[in-house]
Amino acid sequence: MTLKACKKEEKIDKEFQKKFKFEGSISVLTQMMVDPAVTEKRGGGKNLPLRRGEILDVIQFTNQEQILCRNSQRRYGYVPRAVMLPL
């Protein structure tokens, strides 16, 4: 990675930590897939947009209804547990 790309990723990660009040280092716990049968949803606020069959990195299991995830474009947000499938 170039220095410019590294700095950009650091900035994205700091914005994520501020927005979601996340403390500590960002580490991927596991990867999960969005259910292919679910309807695609636009993200908004703190929710991540959903695409059928997309593989997401799980950052934190927040509660019984939501998971904090990161998609392939390095965007962060909450995703309902009901639409997630283990790999």
Q: How far apart are CA 82 and CA 68, in angstroms?
A: 13
pLDDT of res. 58:
93
What number does CATH give the domain 22-86?
2.30.30.40
Is pLDDT at 78 greater than 90 in this prediction?
yes
Q: What is the pLDDT of residues 35-65, one digit of tens each?
A: 998 888 887 888 999 898 999 999 999 888 9
Contact 26, 59 (CB under 8 A): yes
Run of H or E including 76: strand 76-80
What is the percent of the chain with per-residue pLDDT over 90, rounded to a whole number? 38
Phi-psi region of 53 (alpha: psi -120 to 50; beta: other; left: phi over 0): left
Is pLDDT at 30 greater than 90 in this prediction?
yes
Domain boundaries, the chain: 22-86
Run of H or E including 30: strand 30-34
